[in-house]
Amino acid sequence: MTKEEFRRFGHELVDWVANYFDHIEELPVLSQIEPGSLKAQLPAAPPEQGERMERIISDIDRLIVPALTHWSHPSFFAYFATSTSGPGILGELLTAAFDNKAMLWRTSPASTELEEVALDWLRQMMGLDEGLFGIIYDTASVSSMHAIAAAREGVERRIREDGMSGRPDLPLLRLYVSEQAHSSIEKAVITLGLGQKGLRKIPTDDQFRMDPSALANAIDEDKANGFVPFCIVATVGTTSTSSIDPIPEIVSIGEQHAMWLHVDAAYAGSAAVVPELRHLLNGCDRADSLVVNPHKWLFTPFDLSVLYCRHMDLLRRAFSLVPEYLRTPEQEKVRSGSDYGIQLGRRFRALKLWMVIRYFGHEGLASRIREHCRLAQLFASWVEESPDWEIMAPYPLALVCFRACPDQPNGNESDRAVRLDELNEAVMHAVNNTGEALLSHTRLNDKLTLRLSIGNIRTTERHVRHVWELLNQELSRLM
Amino acid sequence: MTKEEFRRFGHELVDWVANYFDHIEELPVLSQIEPGSLKAQLPAAPPEQGERMERIISDIDRLIVPALTHWSHPSFFAYFATSTSGPGILGELLTAAFDNKAMLWRTSPASTELEEVALDWLRQMMGLDEGLFGIIYDTASVSSMHAIAAAREGVERRIREDGMSGRPDLPLLRLYVSEQAHSSIEKAVITLGLGQKGLRKIPTDDQFRMDPSALANAIDEDKANGFVPFCIVATVGTTSTSSIDPIPEIVSIGEQHAMWLHVDAAYAGSAAVVPELRHLLNGCDRADSLVVNPHKWLFTPFDLSVLYCRHMDLLRRAFSLVPEYLRTPEQEKVRSGSDYGIQLGRRFRALKLWMVIRYFGHEGLASRIREHCRLAQLFASWVEESPDWEIMAPYPLALVCFRACPDQPNGNESDRAVRLDELNEAVMHAVNNTGEALLSHTRLNDKLTLRLSIGNIRTTERHVRHVWELLNQELSRLM
């Protein structure tokens, strides 16, 4: 592409993006296409000759945009609502142009050193102690997998060298999570060869927090059976409800048994940049590792997940492999990202995070997260005041779990439970199908529960009021 | 960031990028900064208040650019030279704006369906058969890890459920690669808990290709010892020399033992889009999986690695986990990317690949790769004609392995070997330190060998001639 073409289409697409954000509320949040319909509109074979950019851009308008679910829509309240931002998007433009593979320090000194600086800034903003060193991965699933791999290496059973198959000498290794932990932990355990049997789920209390005494008992029981408890994963901000495991109690149990404590704060960790919410991470000064995702709630485009780790030596021992073709004269004096993970090539992700932190500043980031929490509390207050709805879990952050529970003619208790599940699922789909807002769901105490998550930089009180109206309107219609 | 600000700084940065590419040859390819010097110039604490974009952009010019190694420089000949491109960069701009997390079909129908279409286009261009279904991961390391995990699942020993620790019933599982295979395979094996002992390296012939009879013997021997040979990883285009393992012979051995055959074509797979180079993948119609990286040699910005797999059911069985909060009404009718891997969130990477294929067309891609191969052959011819240099390995693609071997006063043979290693390392660093070109090295038959890799879209004959002049000039100076 010539310089002139790049300028011309670059300017056109920058305007296109500005316009996209300006008109995003006119688009349905959830894509309305039928499965397979985009594929059916695209040629089955690749073009033999190159095509003009004008045609490609016009197809983006005509075919791609209708097939998008608009995560950047201010009424996206599903899953964990997330947010890209202007400085982050422009950072990605530069990253794609530099196209650095930051595998070794020398292949991208800027990436290596900016990563160190930006992650230390984030650590300070979150109030974490200096003993935690940060490294960027793509997703929390991958960050947590690396933490658990380091913990596995820490059991000192020559797993890197000898593996775990053909090892009659090796007892069952076990990791502990709460029943509310994210599925990524189970996936990581499966991937690492520890198996689902290597993961034990600990019951939670009535606020969906891990029960420390159940954890202690489970570890004792497993030890008595000859198993090797090696890791606990506690969650600050679970996916279903944003519940917060009691880290200080859990960390004490981990210390007593010399186990690795990993904290999954992928969602809620960002909230700690708000000074009055720092207490969420109480106890993490004694954790071995912690994951937080700036791509979730820190206005940084996907993907950028951060693992803070207190034992970089173990992480390195678990993953470092330097073949001759990657040897460099300076290798003893510098850090190379690929020594700390499965991926050799690494994108220059630190650039966008550094730009986001500088553009917003600590106060700018904190004030936006604080406002999201205020909006969630406001929504929860409406739910609490209404006779037709009920709160299903505490809402310490910007996620509200609730459901419709209108008065209905008496009936059999289990019939009523089924009817309420069906009603809530129907309300959710009805709201989602309006295209004006998007919610998601979970199950709590075996009850279908709606989730409203606020995390988009463009979400204002007006959007929250509107989804509340939609919910009530669809509930009335369905009753 | 307001719409006006986004337009203003977006236009400014598009011009900045156009200008960067226009003047890139004035920049040193290898960053000239000292370790730690970027970090030392950045504030130790994050800004409390937001900063102006003008200041951030000026710091990118002043601090970041000098700390970059310029992978987009046409005289970047190190590692595998790669290439971003205009349509790919603009695709990344859109991806960052859409900020889709393509974990489920509904969270990004466009990503799911465009991925299927673009990867089928690529499959056709590479001449692969329809039985291979594609899926995008971030890097080849991760693609290969997934292939090996599916192979591990295929041994039917309940590894997903029961894991590999505490399993006296489980024999040693073994995977086979050549001595020239990429380090990522060993890392994947370590990560998956199979250990370095679970990987057996097979000797190569005088052209650095896996020796099939040594492979067959190793498998027989391991079976006799009660081990379970479960996977072979063959390479088309090894990292040191771009050697091509004899796939047809290897695939027959794999079939005989019902083992999974994974082909690492991360680099050379792209070359198969050139019709006369399709034969490189002969035999792959019988492979179980194959990885190719469009971010290496298909003008697509990093990261985008493709795994083609013949057993998506096994990959899904190895990784699928659908908690309640990810259940959707359409899940039985659609594919969700997160069912096939460790990562839950997935970037909308297909967009840039689709834009690249459309912009260049099959012929445009093939002609550029063909030209890179021509330039490499040309460079190799100069080496072969010169008395001061020698070719160290066959050069079937766009990578040339060579070294300086000037006539020198006779001496002890082992002294001469050491002197030649030192001389070649010195020549490489001297060339790299000019900032005018970047080479890397490997060791072949225990001899330090220089590598010249051509893969950048801006590289022309002029750049190849210039690095040849630099090499000769630095050799003369050092003699």
Of B45, B69, B326, nearest to A107 by CB-CB distance is B69
Confidence bin at B117 (pLDDT 50/70/90): very high
pLDDT given at position A410: 65
Residue where a domain stops, chosen among B292, B322, B347 = B347
Q: What is the average per-residue pLDDT within A197-203?
A: 98
Q: Are A46 and B87 a contacting pair at CB < 8 A?
A: no
Note the pTM of the prediction, 2 decimals: 0.98
Dump pLDDT digits (tens) for A248-261: 999 999 999 999 99
Check which CATH number belongs to the domain holding B281 and give it.
Answer: 3.40.640.10
**Binary contact (A195, B142; C-beta < 8 A):** no
Neighbours of B433 (CB within 10 A): 12
**Which residue in chain B has the smallest CA separation from A344?**
B141
User: pLDDT class for B325, splitting at 50, 70, 90?
Assistant: confident
CATH number assigned to the domain comprising residue B399 = 3.90.1150.170
Given this model, what pLDDT does residue B413 score? 80
Q: Is residue B63 part of a domain?
A: no
pLDDT in tens, B404-438: 999 876 678 888 999 999 999 999 999 999 999 99
Instruction: State the residue for tokens 């160290």.
Output: B392
Per-residue pLDDT at A409? 63
A336 and A415 fall within a common domain: no
Partners of A191 in beta bridges: none
Looking at chain A, the whole-number percentage of residues with pLDDT higher than 90 is: 96
Examine the domain organization and report whether A25 and A77 are in the same domain: yes
Searching chain B, which residue's CA lies closest to the CA of residue A17? Answer: B97
Judge whether B357 lies within some domain.
Answer: no
Q: Is B36 within the bounds of a domain?
A: no
Total domains in the fold of chain A: 2
* Confidence band of A161 (pLDDT split at 50, 70, 90): very high
Residue B209: CB partners within 8 Å, gap ≥ 6?
Answer: B178, B180, B243, B244, B245, B246
| Nearest Cα to Cα of residue A343 among A161, A126, A104, A121 | A104
With respect to residue B252, please indicate whether it lies within any of the assigned structural domains. yes
Tokens of B428: 């490489």
**pLDDT(B338) > 70:** yes
Tell me the average pLDDT across A187-192: 98
Residues B315, B458 within the same domain: no
Taking CB atoms and an 8 Å limit, are A110 and B31 in contact across chains?
Answer: yes
Is the same domain home to A400 and A296?
no
With both helix axes pointing from N to C terminus, report the angle between A86-98 and B86-98 in degrees, rounded to the nearest 10.
150
Which B residues 183-242 touch A at CB under 8 Å? 183-184, 186-198, 227-228, 239-240
Residues 234-293 of A with CB under 8 A from B: 239-240
Q: What is the pLDDT of residue A407?
A: 83
For A132-145, what is each residue's pLDDT tens digit?
999 999 999 999 99
Q: How many whole angstroms from its chain centre is CA A55?
A: 35
CB contact under 8 A, A358 and B50: yes
Percentage, residues of chain B above pLDDT 70: 99
Choosing among B22, B158, B164, B178, which should be mutated to test the A contact, i.e. which has the most A CBs within 10 A?
Answer: B164
Q: Quick check: A86 contacting B, CB < 8 Å?
A: yes
Q: Is A3 exposed, middle or buried (0-12, 13-18, 19+ CB in 10 A)?
A: middle
Residues of A in contact with B392 (CB under 8 A): none
Question: What is the total residue count of chain B?
Answer: 479
> Residue B301: which of A70, A96, A138 has the nearest Cβ?
A96
The CA angle B127-B263-B455, to the nearest 5 degrees, is 70
**A170 neighbourhood in chain B, CB within 8 Å:** 165-167
Residues B348-358: what's their mean pLDDT?
98
Distance from C-alpha of A287 to C-alpha of A308, rounded to nearest angstrom: 10
Q: Does A377 touch chain B (CB under 8 A)?
A: no
Residues A246 and A366 in one domain: no
Residue B37 lies in a domain: no
pLDDT at B11 over 90: yes
Sign of the dihedral defined by the CA atoms of residues A441, A444, A446, A449, in that order: negative
pLDDT digits (tens, 9 = 90+) for B236-259: 999 999 999 999 999 999 999 999
Query: Is B149 in contact with A191 (Cβ distance < 8 A)?
Result: yes
Examine the domain organization and report whether B287 and B161 are in the same domain.
yes
Q: Is B317 on the interface with A (CB under 8 A)?
A: no
Q: Taking CB atoms and an 8 Å limit, are A69 and B106 in contact across chains?
A: yes
| A377 in the same domain as A287 | no
Asked if the Cβ–Cβ distance from A363 to B50 is below 8 Å, we say yes
Among the candidates B303, B322, B347, a domain finishes at B347
> Which residues of B fall within a CB distance of 8 Å from A120?
44
Is the N-terminal amide bond of A313 cis, ω within 30° of 0? Answer: no
Instruction: Tell me whether residue A55 is in a domain.
Output: no
ipTM over 0.85: yes
Q: Judge whether A171 lies within some domain.
A: yes
Tell if the CB–CB gap between B97 and A442 is shorter than 8 Å: no
A448 vs chain B: nearest CA distance in angstroms?
9
Tell me which residues of chain A, numbers 423 to 452, contact chain B at a CB-CB cutoff of 8 Å.
Answer: 429, 440-443, 451
Residues in A touching B46 (Cβ below 8 Å): 121-122, 124-125, 357-358, 361-362
What pLDDT sits at residue A413?
80
Across the interface, do A321 and B33 touch by the CB < 8 Å criterion?
no
Burial per residue of A74-108, b for 16 or more beta-carbon CB atoms within 10 angstroms, e otherwise: bbbbbbbbbbbbbbbbbbbbbbbbbbbbbbbbbbb
| Inter-axis angle of helices A247-256 and A212-224, nearest 10 | 20
Q: A326 at the B interface (CB within 8 A)? A: yes
User: Given an 8 Å threshold on Cβ–Cβ distance, is A87 in contact with B113?
Assistant: no
Task: Flag whether pLDDT at A262 surpasses 90.
Answer: yes
Q: Please indicate, yes or no, if residue B41 is contained in any of the structural domains.
A: no
- Position with higher pLDDT, B297 vs A407: B297
Q: How does A165-200 read in b/e, with b if 16+ C-beta sit within 10 Å? A: bbbeebbbbbbbbbebbbbbbbbbbbbbbbbbbbbb
Closest Cβ opposite residue B159 in set A65, A195, A443: A195
User: Is B159's CB within 8 Å of A330's CB?
Assistant: no
- Distance (Å, rounded) from C-alpha A26 to C-alpha A337? 43
Determine whether the interchain pair B301/A105 forms a contact, defined as Cβ–Cβ distance below 8 Å.
no
Q: Are residues A440 and A394 in the same domain?
A: yes
pLDDT value at position B412? 80
Across the interface, whether the CB atoms of A361 and B48 are under 8 A apart is answered yes
Query: pLDDT tens digits, residue range B437-448?
Result: 999 999 999 999
pLDDT over threshold 80, residue A470: yes
How many of the other CB atoms lie within 10 Å of CB of A478? 14
Do A470 and A396 share a domain, yes or no? yes
Whether residue A337 lies within 8 A of chain B, CB to CB, comes out as no
pLDDT, residue B410, reads 65
With beta carbons under 8 A apart, name residues in chain B contacting A323: 182-183, 239
Last residue of a domain, one of A347, A369, A385: A347
Q: What is the pLDDT of residues B72-106, one digit of tens each?
A: 999 999 999 999 999 999 999 999 999 999 999 99
The average pLDDT across B444-462 equals 97
Residues of B in contact with A23 (CB under 8 A): none
User: Does the distance separating the beta carbons of A161 and B196 come in below 8 Å?
Assistant: yes
Same domain, A411 and A446: yes
Torsion angles phi and psi, residue B460, rounded to 5:
-125, 175
A321: nearest CB among B64, B186, B352: B186
Residue of A nearest to B180 (CA): A323
| Residue B97 to residue A20, Cβ atoms within 8 A | yes
SS3 per-residue string spanning chain A: CCHHHHHHHHHHHHHHHHHHHHCHHHCCCCCCCCCCHHHHHCCCCCCCCCCCHHHHHHHHHHHHHHHCCCCCCCCECCCCCCCCCHHHHHHHHHHHHHCCCCCCHHHCHHHHHHHHHHHHHHHHHHCCCCCCEEEEECCHHHHHHHHHHHHHHCCCCCHHHHCCCCCCCCCCEEEEEECCCCHHHHHHHHHCCCCHHHEEEECECCCCCECHHHHHHHHHHHHHCCCEEEEEEEEECCCCCCCECCHHHHHHHHHHCCCEEEEECCCHHHHHHCHHHHHHHCCHHHCCEEEECHHHHCCCCCCCEEEEECCHHHHHHHHCCCCHHHCCCCCCCCCCHHHHCCCCCCCCCHHHHHHHHHHHHHHHHHHHHHHHHHHHHHHHHHHHHCCCEEECCCCCCCEEEEEECCCCCCCCHHHHHHHHHHHHHHHHHHHHHHCCCECEEEEECCEEEEEEECCCCCCCHHHHHHHHHHHHHHHHHHC
The predicted-structure confidence for A417-437, as pLDDT tens digits, reads as follows 999 999 999 999 999 999 999
**Residue with the larger pLDDT of the pair B189 and A411:** B189
Residue B232: give the domain boundaries: 101-347
A362 touches chain B (CB under 8 A): yes
Average pLDDT over residues A40-64: 98
Q: What pLDDT score does A29 carry?
A: 98
Query: What percent of chain B is predicted at pLDDT more than 90?
Result: 96
In this structure, the answer to whether residues B150 and B270 fall within a common structural domain is yes
Q: A293 to chain B: nearest residue by CA?
A: B345
Q: What whole-number distance in Å separates Cα of residue B251 and Cα of residue B215?
A: 11
Task: Answer yes or no: do A290 and A181 share one domain.
Answer: yes
